[in-house]
Structure 1
Amino acid sequence: MTGVAASRDAIVRAEAWLCDLPVETVRTDAMQSFLSQETIFVRIETASGATGLGYSYTIGTGGGAVLDLLRTVLLDAVTGLDASRHEAVWRAMISSTRATTVGAVSSLAFAAIDTAVWDVKAKSSNAPLWIAAGGARESIPLYDTEGGWLHLSGDELVESALSAQRHGLGGVKIKVGKPRGAEDAERLRAVRDAVGWGFDIMVDANQAFTAAEAIRRAAQFDDIGLAWFEEPLPAEDVSGHASLARSSSIPIAVGESMYSIGHFKEYLHAGAASILQPDVARIGGITPWLKVAHLAEAYNVAVAPHFLMELHVALTCAVPNSLYLEHIPQLRALTNGDMAIESGAGVPSDTPGLGIDWNLDAIDGLRVR
């Protein structure tokens, strides 16, 4: 790139702020309740006047720490860098935080900047993110999570699953982690009996079990025909996941609680997961998310990312080995329109940039002052 072009793409201003966004519905799993979403925004401007708006999030705590790292270290570290060179920007963030990486706070902060960089980069090339990042497909099948929370009754689970099926979605995810596995299995069988065998059922334990209990519950679920068993164990227990994967025919899905590319590599090398669920915010941005997706492709493993459907719809359409997109709306209070859905599939925006139609007045109204 010439010096003139580089100067036009140089980041000349960067700011960060925090919004406290209420959740859209009651959400409970085996480990916690999702009560609020701290959403961290970063806005960058280049010398040419191009702007990018990126974001990250936490489930209720830690947003202030992420914001502080951005304001005291990272925004200064990236100012002056070429926004068209996302790898160089990401490396600069790593170099400025060696003592605190790899970790959740750093990765969440990286993601807010990296998504802003990709936003301005895609806008500058007049391309939507799904094409700028690969353009592998034009839509992605959806599955529903909102109707599967742990506090819901069996009848409510069935009703929600049938509604998702009527709307053309490919499956539903149901939380597990009741005191006894038989209770989980009973709830799942009720849903299977209602929807039949042409509809996927996923289960998610949110890291609640030991390896022994996960193996035991997988055996109790074996006749239900599950599409995957998500986060059965704590994310750091690679060997436990490998033992479970060897003992069960149910595909094991992990990734929402993993914060580095290397952690995903360990799972793949150990044969401990057959579906990866990287989260842009938690892995540190679009730049490392794409690396995880391509690493999974090299292992012939599918990706089905966690949360952030408004952003992940573009990324799942960018790569060839995407399996599903999780339908769990959370940004409607901050945007001017919903993600497009056609025949039960998510459709990415063709607007240059991330493709999220932000309502800037609403964002400003929810700022934590």
Structure 2
Amino acid sequence: MTVAPTDTRSRLERDSTIVSAEAWLSDLEVETVRTDAVQSFLKQETIFVRIRTAGGGEGLGYSYTIGTGGAAVIALLRSGLLDALIGLDADRPEAVWRALFSSTRATTVGAITSLALAAVDTAVWDARCTAAGLPLWVAAGGARPSIPLYDTEGGWLHFDTDELVAQAVESLARGLGGVKIKVGKPRGHEDLERLTAVREAVGPGMDIMIDANQSMTAAEAMRRAALFEPLDIFWFEEPLPADDVAGHRRLAESTSLPIAVGESLYSIGQFREYLQAGAASIVQVDVARIGGITPWLKVAHLAESFNVAVAPHFLMELHVSLTCAVPNALYLEHIPQLRAVTAAEMTITDGHGVAPTAPGLGIEWDLDAVDRLRVL
């Protein structure tokens, strides 16, 4: 793809001052039943933020929850953050993010604030990239045009072994590089039997990731990791509660399985602690939960400085651009959730997610559908 150079004078003369901002909540039903060792995905509460600039520019951003807390995020946005945006420059996402973060010191670090900041920050980046005529993946770094995919939808904990095997084989046939299987059955041998069946079905050439969703103690995770090692598991995801950095470090030292963490971390500092402790082999930073594109890129580059790869959690329609922006991205999680509110799906070619070429975030929203699903 060739992007036409932006006219410098036009860019400088364009007024990117934010003059209006609005937020609302639209509920999306899950596309399939999703269960893990600790919870079920109830619905996607989708928090939207739209900004407009004095020069006529516009940006639409979003974040999400998996069923609770969306109203609290909207309340935080409407009670002050949206007003704080007025007069700021959409061409300066670092300045916008820092101004809003500074105004929320009393509620950081925390999920509600991060989700609110993410909805704003993605809107700012959308406006900035659209005005510049650049797709996000190019504006944020442009490392590569596509990223390998692994599938999560075929690995939920409620599936029986035959279902796991059938869906893993289907993913292999579609050219996907890996599948993620949820673990956390009452006894380790139950997980082992399921994983063994999948490995035997797909052979050694497909990556198998496992995810415990923070359900284990360090001792139990070490015991199960020893059980799983002969299966050549690609990574062991969130085995322990996210705030147990020391436990993850001990686990990482005890096993050859790479330890993946990050979907439940909400600040750059938390990632730094994991990386400095040697407690994370794969970083799974989530653009909504870290507070937007601006801090997501910082985490990705921080991981790169530790020679650690990034494989973000969920939000494939947005993360496809971010993983293509940075050089140390490893995989993109295939787990569709926006079909009900988009006019086109993410492009997949030869088992890879392809970065959008349209300016902005590259998500083709069906705004009528978004409006129909609006609840707040």
Q: Tell me if TM exceeds 0.5.
A: yes
The correspondence of residues 322-341 of structure 1 with structure 2, limited to 5 A, is 322-341=329-348
1:213 and 2:220 correspond: yes
- Match of residue 307 from structure 2: 300
2:108 equivalent among 92, 101, 104: 101
- Match of residue 83 from structure 2: 76
2:144 equivalent among 137, 162, 168: 137
Change (3 A) 1:211 1:122: same
2:369 equivalent among 348, 362, 365: 362
1:175 equivalent among 176, 182, 190: 182
Distance, in Å, in 2 between the alignment partners of 1:249 and 1:77 is 48
- Match of residue 60 from structure 2: 53
The one-letter code of the counterpart of 1:134 is G
- The Cα of 1:79 is off from its aligned counterpart by 1.1
1:310 equivalent among 298, 309, 317: 317
1:20 equivalent among 9, 27, 42: 27
Distance, in Å, in 2 between the alignment partners of 1:173 and 1:267 is 22
Helix, strand or coil at the partner of 1:279: coil
Helix, strand or coil at the partner of 2:32: strand
The one-letter code of the counterpart of 2:142 is G
Distance, in Å, in 2 between the alignment partners of 1:39 and 1:230 is 25
- Match of residue 265 from structure 1: 272
Q: Which runs of 5+ in 2 are unaligned?
A: 1-7
- The Cα of 1:341 is off from its aligned counterpart by 0.2
- The Cα of 1:7 is off from its aligned counterpart by 7.4
Distance, in Å, in 2 between the alignment partners of 1:172 and 1:92 is 40
4+ long deviations beyond 6 Å: none
Q: CA RMSD in A?
A: 1.2
- Match of residue 246 from structure 2: 239
Residue correspondences, number: 368
Question: TM-score, length-normalised on structure 1?
Answer: 0.98
1:161 and 2:168 correspond: yes
Distance, in Å, in 2 between the alignment partners of 1:91 and 1:222 is 43
Helix, strand or coil at the partner of 1:43: strand
Question: TM-score, length-normalised on structure 2?
Answer: 0.97
The correspondence of residues 27-46 of structure 1 with structure 2, limited to 5 A, is 27-46=34-53
- The Cα of 1:35 is off from its aligned counterpart by 1.4
- The Cα of 1:190 is off from its aligned counterpart by 0.2
Distance, in Å, in 2 between the alignment partners of 1:20 and 1:6 is 39
Distance, in Å, in 1 between the alignment partners of 2:13 and 2:222 is 54
Distance, in Å, in 1 between the alignment partners of 2:80 and 2:261 is 31
1:321 and 2:321 correspond: no
Distance, in Å, in 2 between the alignment partners of 1:73 and 1:300 is 39
The one-letter code of the counterpart of 1:309 is M
Do the aligned residues in 2 keep the contact of 1:7 with 1:82 (CA within 8 Å)? no
The one-letter code of the counterpart of 2:278 is G
- The Cα of 1:95 is off from its aligned counterpart by 1.2
- The Cα of 1:59 is off from its aligned counterpart by 0.6
